[in-house]
Amino acid sequence: MYNIQTLKEKVLAGQLLTDDEAYALPSFSSSELREAAAEITAAMCPAEFEPCSIINARSGRCPENCKWCAQSAHHAAKCEIYDLVDHKECVEAARYNHERGVKRFSLVASGKKVSGETLRRMCAMLDDIRRDVGIEVCASMGLLGHDELQQLKDAGVKRYHCNLETAPSHFATLCTTHTIDDKLATIRAAHSLGMEVCSGGIIGMGETMRQRVEFALTLRKAQPVSIPINVLSPIPGTPLGDTPLISEDEILDSVAIIRLIHPTVQIRFAGGRARMSKEAQLQAMRIAVNSGIVGDLLTTIGSTIAEDKELAREAGYKF
């Protein structure tokens, strides 16, 4: 039988929970989990909230069959379809965010991977953003190999994003065109080049709390510096379009568990938080969330950079 006080003290002493200890976390009460996670966040994480922003650089017609995604060509969901965002528009979007205090800017592309001429053009955009704007550049371009990642690194990308999405035991029920092992192979290739990795996923896709623990433990293999957490917002036309929404309490318990398993990693608010109340968002930030995807140009966020800045300050962070 585990004791939450003992587990918290172990983490505060700089040790990671074992798998068995991690799987015991859902047995504790919400108040125990949240208080322990909040103490760990306050003691082991920076007091500065790190904002980043993204642009959807290529949209739609994705050959993958991920059940949550509107961009999959397998589903009837409506989404924008275009091959590549305008170069100048992309640079100006990065400049707009940088001028408002955003630290990182990422190009995100639909599809299993970006390669060839499209990758070359995206690398040119990233290089121009880095040189002309001065913001840190990131990329999320699918299941890339060593050579493609090297091109991104040469363009100035220091951090690559590749979500595991969910627990291995649940993933195959949601996507059959690629695997978590495929994702981990890309992540290993990024690490081999000295790149940082941003990797997280989506909660609320029918997984159990135990599978969220499994997801968090599997993320240790990715060694991420940042874990973006999305909350599923069911999209009509996708196979998960009728999935019941998880409660705010479940969201808060989930981020607390992830913090206990990843005591020093940035836990990043991503998509879906717009449906959370302000109070629940503040609680999440005090418990575990110390970074976020922000941006006035992002319809999925549902808030402005100014509003996010104020929210972070109200939660006790510098922005």
b/e map of 117-153 (b: 16 or more CB within 10 Å)? ebbebbbebbbbbbeebebbbbbbbbbbeeebbebbb
Q: Is the pLDDT of residue 166 over 90?
A: yes
Helix axes 248-261, 4-12, angle to 10 degrees: 50
pLDDT score for 123 = 98
Task: Look at residue 299 in the predicted model and tell me its pLDDT.
Answer: 55
Residues 66-94 have a mean pLDDT of 93
From CA 196, how far away is CA 163, in angstroms rounded? 13
Alpha helices of 245-304 — where are they, by DSSP H? 248-261, 278-287
142: left (phi over 0), alpha (psi -120 to 50) or beta: left
| Mean pLDDT (whole number) for 169-174 | 98
107's enclosing H/E stretch is strand 104-109
CA atoms in the 13 A half-sphere facing the CB of 318: 5
Q: What is the pLDDT of residues 256-270, one digit of tens each?
A: 999 999 999 999 999
Q: What is the pLDDT of residue 303?
A: 81
Report the pLDDT value the prediction gives residue 298, as an integer from 0 to 100: 58
For the chain, the maximum distance between any two Cα atoms, rounded to a whole number of angstroms, is 59
Looking at the predicted structure, is the pLDDT value of residue 297 above 70?
no
Q: Which segment of 120-134, 174-188, 234-248, 289-303 scores lowest on mean pLDDT? A: 289-303
Residue in the structure block whose two tokens are 């091959």: 83
Q: Give Rg (Cα) of the chain.
A: 19
Residue where the block lists tokens 């993933």: 171
Q: What is the pLDDT of residue 78?
A: 86
Q: Going by C-beta distance under 8 Å and a sequence separation of 6 or more, which residues neighbour residue 224?
A: 197, 198, 199, 200, 262, 265
For the segment 241-261, the average pLDDT, to the nearest whole number, is: 98
> For helices 278-287 and 248-261, what crossing angle results, to 10°?
10
Separation of alpha carbons 122 and 187, rounded Å: 20
Residue 171 has pLDDT above 70, yes or no: yes
Q: In 3D, which of 24, 17, 29, 42 has the Cα closest to residue 253?
A: 29
- pLDDT tens sequence across 62-78: 999 999 999 999 999 98
Q: Using a pLDDT cut of 90, give the percent of the chain over it.
A: 92
What spatial distance separates the first Cα and last Cα of the chain, rounded to whole Å?
Answer: 41
**What confidence score (pLDDT) does residue 300 get?**
63
Kindly state the average pLDDT of the residues 86-91: 96
Mean pLDDT on 220-246: 96
Question: In terms of C-beta density within 10 A (0-12 exposed, 13-18 middle, 19 or more buried), how is residue 24 classed?
Answer: middle
C-beta contacts of 77-83 below 8 A and 24+ residues apart: 77/235, 77/236, 77/237, 77/238, 77/241, 78/237, 80/56, 82/58, 83/58, 83/118
**What span, in angstroms and rounded, lies between the C-alpha atoms of 293 and 316?**
18
Other CB atoms within 10 A of residue 244 CB: 9
Residue 293 phi/psi, 5-degree rounding, is -85, 120
Residue 67 and residue 238 in contact, taking contact as beta carbons nearer than 8 Å? yes
Report the chain's mean pLDDT, rounded to a whole number. 96
Residue 142, strand partner residues: 113
